[in-house]
């Protein structure tokens, strides 16, 4: 389809042989429609306005819009930077209802010099996954050609720069933000376009036979986790995690507890672009049983970002050696008591706030303020912990000194996961405070996600912490050093009547 007066070319592809009528706003039911609009440099000002010629992809996204008369408009994927065949691009997605039908519209805009290209996909929510697959196919094969080569007589394509190297398997901790993209069947509390957030992490697991693989740990809605190995088909940039089937009482039929259901879960994920540090994923949850003949299927779409690294304090080895083992332990007693005294007021404020949060008679606003207090108080804990080991002098040269160096090494191993754990705990309290103030389901899910990440950080701490504890027992360090009462009280949940 062309618009000669503006010099713009509009290509439309659909999964239906009949195509889409010119005056039809949405593709026919059951159809995915792909529209590529090519604005040559000479037509940009006429078609898009005088400012478009100097605008970047993110600014150009504003020229895409839902049809006039659309209702229930929901932003599904916020405007974000991307790439198209090595050049900057920008994308977004939103859902809306038009003429009684629900549509998911995905936009991608890029430019090569003065030429601007807009790619738009439209599909019903149940076909959103197929639409995203089509978009990946288009973008992965896209090549920028000289305009004469693209529309004139056959000619050799303009050489393009080599694509950046493929990214390696993901690792570490990630936060996935997404939404329910399709629901087929009967699912309690499932709502299309509902925003969500989850924790992911990618441990490298080795068997006793020496075979190693990366696995995906996926946080479930109530904070429990599921784990499966990532597999990759040769030549395919996407990984697949197929989680073990789970069974239980039928959540959709609470009045009939004898009914059972089985849930299978699959996640396909890949890098949003080779140079981009984000993952995108499609998840399919299939529920069978409950007396239903047809399985229920729920699809989710995720965009994940790595959990940011936080500043980590440093443990500097004290160059001074105590003259005797007794003076070493005496100095440790004095320094640990001083550090504990600094932590005690922090612990008292946190414990007081925890009592308020857990008390059944406390108002939501008071609980929200208490959670905010907890988040604000946690910051100094890691620097205090590092200060303790920096100030204590080394034992006299010999066996005790060698043990002390091992203890310092074990405590240094705890710094990064410890700092991440404190940051996750702060984020959890902040999200809980927001939930108590706003009753936002997304804030509640964020708090659960941060709690999951905190648990993973504590698990990572366990090994070096256990080693350090054993060494300090051998060193006969004072109890106030091995288990400072103020710090211990912070992480022991209070009992509320």
Give the fold, CATH level 3, of 2-151: Protein Transport Mog1p; Chain A (3.40.1000)
What CATH number labels 172-306?
A: 2.40.128
What does the domain layout of the chain look like in residue ranges? 2-151, 172-306, 325-490
Binning pLDDT at 50, 70 and 90, where does residue 155 land?
very low
pLDDT digits (tens, 9 = 90+) for 188-228: 555 666 788 999 999 888 877 778 889 999 998 888 899 99
Which range (3-12, 166-175, 356-365) has the least confidence?
Answer: 3-12
Give percent of the chain with pLDDT exceeding 70.
83
Checking if the pLDDT of 126 tops 90, the result is: no
pLDDT score at 275: 58
* DSSP assignments along 167-209, one per residue: P----EEEEEEEEEEEEES--TT--TT-EEEEEEEE-EEE-TT
Checking if the pLDDT of 165 tops 50, the result is: no
Q: Rounded CA gap, 240 and 497, in Å?
A: 47
Q: E strands within 15-141?
A: 33-39, 71-84, 87-98, 101-112, 115-123
Task: Decide which of 206 and 291 is more confident.
Answer: 206
Both structure tokens of 334: 């004095």
Whether 492 and 351 have beta carbons less than 8 Å apart is answered as: no
pLDDT digits (tens, 9 = 90+) for 338-378: 999 999 999 999 999 999 998 988 899 999 999 999 999 99
pLDDT digits (tens, 9 = 90+) for 73-109: 776 776 777 788 878 888 888 788 888 888 888 888 8
> 490: number of CA atoms within 13 Å, CB side?
22
pLDDT digits (tens, 9 = 90+) for 434-471: 999 999 999 999 999 999 999 999 888 888 888 999 99
């Amino acid at each position: 389809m062309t618009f000669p007066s503006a010099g713009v070319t509009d290509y439309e592809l659909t999964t239906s042989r009949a195509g889409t009528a010119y005056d039809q706003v949405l593709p026919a039911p059951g159809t995915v429609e792909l529209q590529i609009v090519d604005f040559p440099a000479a037509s940009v000002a006429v078609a898009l306005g005088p400012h478009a010629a100097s605008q970047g992809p993110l600014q150009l996204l504003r020229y895409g819009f839902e049809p006039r008369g659309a209702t229930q408009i929901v932003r599904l994927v916020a405007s974000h930077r991307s790439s198209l065949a090595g050049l900057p691009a920008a994308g977004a997605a939103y859902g809306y209802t038009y003429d009684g039908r629900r549509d998911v519209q995905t936009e991608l805009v890029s430019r090569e010099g003065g030429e601007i290209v807009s790619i738009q996909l439209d599909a019903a929510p149940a076909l959103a996954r197929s639409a995203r697959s089509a978009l990946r196919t288009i973008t992965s094969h896209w090549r920028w050609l000289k305009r004469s080569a693209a529309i004139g007589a056959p000619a050799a394509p303009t050489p393009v720069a080599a694509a950046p190297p493929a990214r390696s398997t993901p690792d570490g901790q990630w936060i996935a933000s997404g939404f329910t993209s399709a629901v087929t069947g009967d699912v309690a509390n499932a709502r299309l376009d509902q925003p969500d957030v989850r924790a992911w992490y990618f441990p490298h697991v080795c068997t006793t036979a020496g075979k190693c693989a990366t696995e995906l740990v996926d946080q479930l809605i109530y904070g429990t986790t599921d784990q499966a190995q990532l597999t990759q088909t040769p030549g395919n940039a996407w990984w697949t995690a197929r989680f073990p089937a789970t069974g239980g009482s039928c959540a959709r039929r609470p009045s009939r507890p004898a009914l059972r259901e089985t849930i299978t879960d699959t996640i396909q994920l890949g890098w949003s672009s080779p140079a981009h540090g984000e993952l995108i994923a499609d998840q399919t949850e299939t529920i069978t049983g409950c007396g239903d003949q047809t399985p229920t299927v729920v699809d989710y779409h995720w965009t994940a970002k790595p959990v940011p690294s936080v500043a980590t304090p440093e443990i500097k080895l004290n160059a001074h050696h105590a003259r005797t083992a007794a003076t070493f332990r005496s100095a440790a007693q004095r320094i640990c008591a001083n550090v504990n005294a600094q932590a005690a007021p922090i612990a008292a404020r946190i414990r007081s706030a925890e009592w308020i949060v857990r008390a059944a008679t406390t108002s939501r606003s008071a609980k929200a303020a208490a959670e905010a207090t907890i988040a604000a108080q946690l910051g100094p804990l890691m620097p205090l912990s590092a200060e303790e080991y920096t100030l204590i002098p080394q034992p006299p040269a010999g066996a005790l000194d060698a043990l002390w160096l091992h203890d310092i090494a074990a405590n240094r191993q705890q710094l990064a996961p410890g700092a991440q754990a404190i940051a996750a705990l702060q984020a959890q309290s902040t999200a809980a405070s927001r939930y108590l103030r706003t009753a936002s389901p997304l804030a509640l899910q964020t708090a659960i996600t941060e709690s999951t990440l905190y648990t993973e950080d504590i698990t990572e701490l366990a090994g070096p912490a256990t080693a350090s504890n054993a060494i300090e027992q051998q060193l006969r360090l004072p109890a106030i050093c091995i288990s400072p009462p103020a710090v211990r009280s912070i992480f022991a949940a209070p009992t509320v009547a």
